[in-house]
Structure 1
Amino acid sequence: MNVVIMISVLSVGNTCVYSSSRVLVSLSEQGFAPRVFGYIDREGRPLVGVCLCLAFGLLCYLSVLKNESTVFTWLLSISGLSSLFSWASICASHFRFRLALKAKGRSTDELSFTSAVGTYGSCFGFGFICVIFILEFWVALFPGSTADAENFFETWLCVPVIILFLVSYFVWKRKFVWLTPIKDIDIDSGRRVADLDLLRQELAEERAYLASKPFYYRMYRFWC
């Protein structure tokens, strides 16, 4: 069992270093992070980003402290709700992207992939995550009959951290715009170049192929 756990931990660590270092490169190219993180060596590796991510791994040595459980709790509080914030932003971004596409008189036929549940799924996901935030806020603030500030920040410390990053971005970029108007959203920069006519033909062929299949197969393809 220890071997299985160690292999799983190494797998997760490898995936996190790979993905986070590439995210840093993307942020650097878009001007959201220092340019040094955009450095890529001759082998195609983002060395600066990889080194920074590996450096954060040294925090694991805090486990040798006597109060390591307290340290772990506060580290977890910084990232505990981050996945919910990430998925909420993904749902909101997808919804606004589809609105921008419609506002410019363009359809989803030019997209190589479209969400199976469309904007309804994004709205549902965003709303459901907001409900989770509300419930989590209440449970964190009132774990018992009275309010507990320590318990609250042990759960919601990531919120002040996110606000700090947002304020820092606004000050650094000197761009105090919370949301870009739908009609001004750029939906073309950075997109993968594709032959739209060929793409529409392939999509039409795929729809015709699915229409010729039994209902259970179409349901399987819809969900899988």
Structure 2
Amino acid sequence: MIAMGGSIGTGLFVASGSAISQAGPGGALLAYVGIGIMVYFLMTSLGEMATYMPVSGSFATYATRFVDPAVGFALGWNYWFNWAITLAVDISTTAIIVRFWFPSWPSWAISVFFLLLIFAINIISVKSFGETEYWLAFIKVTTVIIFLAVGLLTIVGILGGRGPVGLKNFTYKGGPFIGGMPAILSVFVVAGFSFQGTELIGITAGESATPEKSIPKAIKQVFWRILLFYILAIFVIAALIPYTSPKLLGSSASDIATSPFTLVFQRIGLAGAASVMNAVILTSVISAANSGMYASTRMLWAMGKEGQAGRIFAKTSRRGVPLMALLLTTFVGAFTLLTSIMGPHVYTLLVAASGLTGFIAWLGIAISHYRFRKAFRFQGHELDELAYKAKWFPFGPILAMFLSIVVILGQDIPAVLHLNWEHLGISYMSIPLFLVLFIYYKVKYKTKVIPLGEVDLSPHKDDPDYVAKQARMKQQQK
């Protein structure tokens, strides 16, 4: 439920309408299916490594051990930066959403309240994080199921009072494909952002009592449900609302009234549809902030353990919470207050800053898995030793690498074609950030790509800290 809910957020509730308006119903469906296939292979790649070597902050550790320590260093700080800034964005967004009901309330007070709430949830224990995420995910999943049922009944004419709608909107005004490949590529970016968060399964592996069972189960069951939700939701929206509708152009959490979910509920006469969806989107944003806090603190904790961040970040509380990593991430989240002091342009910059970092993380996962499997076979290991085996190797990670690079480079094609340097700087700022981190570590420590025969494949199951942590978690669960 947590992994499923983690990938259902404003990308589905709001930005899905923008995707349909840009590329038409067919283009949007094609983009979401394509990214969904890529994410499936990423999930299987991550699952193979996470069941063999379950560690918190897995991406940085895997890249460090299987590729190059400089890649692991840059990837880890990149991912921490991604979620820490995303936390700031989400906390700012809570103020926008709450002011929908209470416009006179100060934004800074709302942001402080939710930041302290997220901090409290994460500082108590891993269990409190999990319980909170479960119920927030339950609300989101239930909303999507109700939406799909209402939408499908409206399409066939049982609800809505206007007779069957059918699929006429798919061919409306030149549909279903609009804008050609450039439009579809731009929607690939939107779809990719919508699916980001599925990789949290790898982050949580190190704190699962039985990762060899829970990780494969999560990958097999959850991903197909997520893909089903997204594809069916896009289908329902495209069938009921023409892609030319200006109300589909909203693409931020502040456009609650233009959420395609709101539009569909309003079509059947649901009173207060905007207010209901506002509440659901608020739970979605809180969930994203909660996940962001968890993921970023665990990544920073893992880098502290690996010596790629200050050792102070490797320390944990009696409940196993990485306290100093949590405090630093909360401090970054406090930058949300600048949106109240310096204006909404700070919010825009925060959104842009978190842009491509998720795709860079996906690229790192694919490369790490490719190197892991090659080293595994090179050193004489048999695939039967793996608790979970990724299917279609090496096609899966190669496809994921290719599509990740395409999406990263195609982030803002109009800015590239027109040489809009301001937009280029904002859209692609994550790339120079990653390169600076990589080059800094490479030059300082003179690292190299690890030869396949020297890749460290020893699982962490023999690590005393890991064994003690697993014993502590099992005791807490009793």
Question: What TM-score, normalized by structure 2, do the two folds share?
Answer: 0.37
Distance 2:336 2:409 in 1: 32
Distance 1:191 1:39 in 2: 18
Distance 1:166 1:94 in 2: 19
Distance 2:424 2:332 in 1: 25
Q: CA deviation at 1:101?
A: 1.0
Q: Contact 1:140/1:156 (CA < 8 Å) preserved in 2?
A: no
Code of the residue aligned with 2:283 in structure 1: it is I
- Change in Cα spacing, 1:137 to 1:107, as seen in structure 2 (3 Å) is farther
Q: Contact 1:73/1:154 (CA < 8 Å) preserved in 2?
A: no
- The alignment-based identity, stated in percent, is 27
- Change in Cα spacing, 1:133 to 1:13, as seen in structure 2 (3 Å) is closer
Q: CA deviation at 1:39?
A: 0.9
Match of residue 13 from structure 1: 289
- Change in Cα spacing, 1:187 to 1:139, as seen in structure 2 (3 Å) is farther
Q: CA deviation at 1:38?
A: 0.5
Q: CA deviation at 1:72?
A: 2.4
Distance 1:105 1:137 in 2: 44
Match of residue 175 from structure 1: 446
Q: CA deviation at 1:148?
A: 1.0
Q: CA deviation at 1:65?
A: 4.0
Unpaired runs of 5+ residues, structure 2, are 1-276, 463-478
Match of residue 377 from structure 2: 102
Q: CA deviation at 1:50?
A: 0.8
Q: Contact 1:81/1:158 (CA < 8 Å) preserved in 2?
A: yes
Distance 2:425 2:381 in 1: 45
Match of residue 117 from structure 1: 392
Distance 2:446 2:451 in 1: 14
Distance 1:131 1:10 in 2: 31
Q: Contact 1:94/1:122 (CA < 8 Å) preserved in 2?
A: yes
Q: CA RMSD in A?
A: 1.9
- Match of 1:118, SS state, is coil
Q: Contact 1:77/1:153 (CA < 8 Å) preserved in 2?
A: no
Match of residue 161 from structure 1: 433
- Match of 1:16, SS state, is helix
Distance 1:88 1:157 in 2: 17
Residues 80-106 of structure 1 deviation map (CA, whole Å, 9 limit, x = unaligned): 001111011100110111110111121
- Change in Cα spacing, 1:121 to 1:49, as seen in structure 2 (3 Å) is same
Out of 180, 191, 194, which is 2:460 matched to?
191
Mapping of residues 1-224 of structure 1, within 5 Å: 1-65=277-341, 67-68=343-344, 70-136=345-411, 138-142=413-417, 146-172=418-444, 174-177=445-448, 179-188=449-458, 190-192=459-461
Distance 2:412 2:382 in 1: 39
Match of residue 218 from structure 1: none
Residues 118-163 of structure 1 deviation map (CA, whole Å, 9 limit, x = unaligned): 2210011101112223333644322xxx311101011001111111
Question: What TM-score, normalized by structure 1, do the two folds share?
Answer: 0.76
Distance 2:407 2:280 in 1: 32
Flag as ranges the 4+ runs of structure 1 deviating above 4 A: none
Code of the residue aligned with 1:118 in structure 2: it is F
Q: Compare relative contact order (CA 8 Å, sep 6+) and give the higher one, 1 or 2.
A: 2
Distance 1:15 1:148 in 2: 34
Q: CA deviation at 1:182?
A: 1.8
